[in-house]
Chain A
Amino acid sequence: MARVHLETIRKIYPNGFEAVTPTSFDIPDGEFVVLVGPSGCGKSTLLRMIAGLEDITEGTLSIGDRVVNGVDPADRDIAMVFQNYALYPHMTVRRNIAYGLQNRKIDKATIEQKVQEAATMLNLTEYLDRKPAQLSGGQRQRVAMGRAIVRDPALFLFDEPLSNLDAKLRNQMRIEIKALQRRLGVTSIYVTHDQVEAMTMADRIIVMNGGKVEQIGTPHEVYHNPASTFVASFMGAPPMNLLEARFEDGMVRINGGTPVMPAPAARTGNVTLGIRPEDVRIDDAGDIPFHVDLVEELGAHRLLHGQLGDQTFSIHAMKDEPAPQGATRLSLIPDNICLFDSETGKRI
């Protein structure tokens, strides 16, 4: 169990590509942090640098009170769960879990006891003598977890561990991993490109894009107060609606003139207005015309996709709210509107 501290960590590959721009953050003891971003955003590289599988080009990484830049992965007191499980196919589940301990020259009785503990915790007891090929995806993932648990590491690293599972199993394993992490209280860093996983599992989310950290915050903050248009459009399904708007006469106007909220002091010119689909109401008395092209029925709620002026727009409607087709009118909840600089995409 340990605090993790990154100080201007940077990664430049030999071919000159800067995969991670100087990044600093701090993970307190026991926190579950999710690194999320589209593929190629540098999140896996960052994780692999923390694991010691990639060299750190610049910066300092400490786990606990120890700077571990040059330390071998095996000596960093970490455990890692890989996307494709990375189980040793020729070893039984028992040996897979025990292998890391054997290499540390721990005596056999202790190993056996730890393996049993982990197996009980993960419901793997009856599979201990099977080979990975005889297990289902979820079970394999649990073996990979077991391999991590028995080492009592200071830090868990997860590299997209659920992306090879089907949707149902993924939801289940998500809860299991989260519960396990809570129970063990081990600091964890979890990499995923799935924003649902990020939202549901994280104590704090780090959103990355193009090798840069876009925002660090609790799931609530990241969702409701995105720091940039990138975060706004990446988090949430469907993403936040982003509309081109203008500051005019002290108001924020969309759709060529309709005022939606008062502008912050002394602003003029273009702005990007962001609003979550659930912060929009179908409202016959509303002053924004909207054309619904498509309704997605999702049981508990519906998604209405269509055109607001010449821009695409989505609305989230609960099952007992009206779901009109074709032309209708809307109103926005002004308190929940986020404004972004149209040039930089940063929050105003």
Chain B
Amino acid sequence: MADTTHTSENTVARPRKSIKWGTVFDHTVLILGSLFMLVPILMVLQTVTTPDLETIKNGPGLTIGTELDDNFAKAMFQASGFSGENTGTSMLINSLILGVGFAVGKIVIGMMAAYAIVYFRLRFATFAFWLIFTTLLLPLEVRILPSYEIVQQLGMLNTYSGLIIPLVASATATFFFRQFFRSVPNELVEAARIDGAGPVKFFIDILVPLSQTMIAAMFIIMFVYGWNQYLWPTMITTDEDMYTLVRGIKQITQDLEGTNVPEYGRANMLALIAILPPVLIVIFFQSWFVKGLTESDK
């Protein structure tokens, strides 16, 4: 981005005039902003390659060490905790299951709810929609105790379904899909009716493929949201083999308080691994994401 602005600036201002202070200011802001975002990550990267002892002696430095593979192996394969079951790999898998289950569940339920609200002559459809919408005012934190109690009574503690299902209903997804469906031309529905497509066929054959970009956009948002869940997994999972990454990182630093040298490299490695999947998903789905939220190809 900065690159393109730069070249176009050059061609415009070819005959050298005085310095454009406005441009300098813009770039200063941009550079400071990117440093603000990048430096912590660079610090993490540096720590990950440095032996823990050096990190604790000198603090974050500028030299790149040789411990990268060691720390990676430790983070991924060495268990922390008592049971020896929460290795980085198992936590990564748990997080992925949570993120994907979260995203897929929210999309499926949101789409079906929106489909019902938009396309069927339901009594009180609008009322039902606003009722769903008001649940945005009741986030998990507000209802966490009753939610926990229900999950516990259903015997879903320490299960994936216990992690995912109580959070899977989504007003946000319902809202976005509702807006999207309302923009689908009515003739399409009528053409499908004449073509003999029933409600289920219309949904699967036409509406779902049309919603591709919207689904992709929702997937990103919901996956990252699910991936970053901290409070709920902390409450629901007590077995170490059910730990997610986000929660497991804390476990490591916590474990090693006392006289031991804190495992900076390993913890930071895990942090790095934890931010990687959301980043990859955003990069991969980026163009669809923008399309889904801005334009519609109908």
Contact = CB atoms under 8 A, between A and B. Distances in A.
Interface of A: 51-53, 72-75, 78-80, 82-91, 99-100, 103-104, 133, 147
**Looking at chain B, what size class is its interface with the partner chain?**
10 to 19
Contacts of A133: 297
B215 to A, nearest CB: 12
Contacts, number: 62
B298 A74 contact: no
Contacts of A52: 193-194
A86 B212 CA distance: 18
A74 B196 contact: yes
Given A84-B185, A89-B298, A79 B205 contact: no
A86 B206 contact: no
B209 interface: yes
A73 B193 contact: yes
Interface string B197-211: 100010001100110
A99 B298 contact: no
B141 interface: no
Given A83-B187, A90-B212, 17 more contacts: A51-B194, A53-B193, A72-B193, A73-B190, A74-B194, A74-B196, A74-B197, A75-B196, A78-B194, A80-B191, A82-B187, A86-B187, A86-B191, A90-B209, A100-B196, A103-B195, A133-B297
Interface of B: 185, 187-188, 190-197, 201, 205-206, 209-210, 212, 297-298
17 contacts: A52-B193, A52-B194, A53-B190, A53-B193, A80-B194, A82-B190, A82-B191, A86-B185, A86-B188, A86-B190, A88-B188, A88-B192, A89-B297, A90-B206, A91-B209, A99-B195, A99-B197
Which of the listed residues B187, B195, B201, B297 has the most CB atoms from chain A within 10 Å of its own CB?
B195
Contacts of A100: 194-196
Which of the listed residues B196, B197, B212 has the most CB atoms from chain A within 10 Å of its own CB?
B196
Contacts of B209: 90-91
A320 B63 CA distance: 96
A75 B206 CA distance: 20
Contacts of B197: 74, 99, 103
The 7 closest A-B pairs by CB, nearest first: A74-B196, A86-B187, A100-B195, A103-B196, A86-B191, A90-B209, A82-B187
Contacts of A80: 190-191, 194
B190 to A, nearest CB: 5
Contacts of B192: 88
B253 to A, nearest CB: 49
A28 to B, nearest CB: 23
A89 B187 CA distance: 12
Given A82-B190, A99-B205, A103-B201, A74 B185 contact: no
Contacts of B212: 90
Contacts of B195: 74, 99-100, 103, 147
B198 to A, nearest CB: 8
Nearest to A53: B190
Contacts of B297: 89, 133
Contacts of A75: 196
B188 A79 contact: no
A86 B193 CA distance: 12
A53 B193 CA distance: 8
Nearest to B211: A90
A53 B210 CA distance: 22
B190 A74 contact: no
A73 B192 CA distance: 10
Contacts of A74: 193-197
B200 to A, nearest CB: 12
B262 to A, nearest CB: 53
A306 B171 CA distance: 64
A104 B194 contact: no
Contacts of A79: 194
Which of the listed residues A86, A104, A147 has the most CB atoms from chain B within 10 Å of its own CB?
A86
Given A103-B201, A133-B297, A88 B190 contact: no
A319 B48 CA distance: 90
Nearest to A81: B191
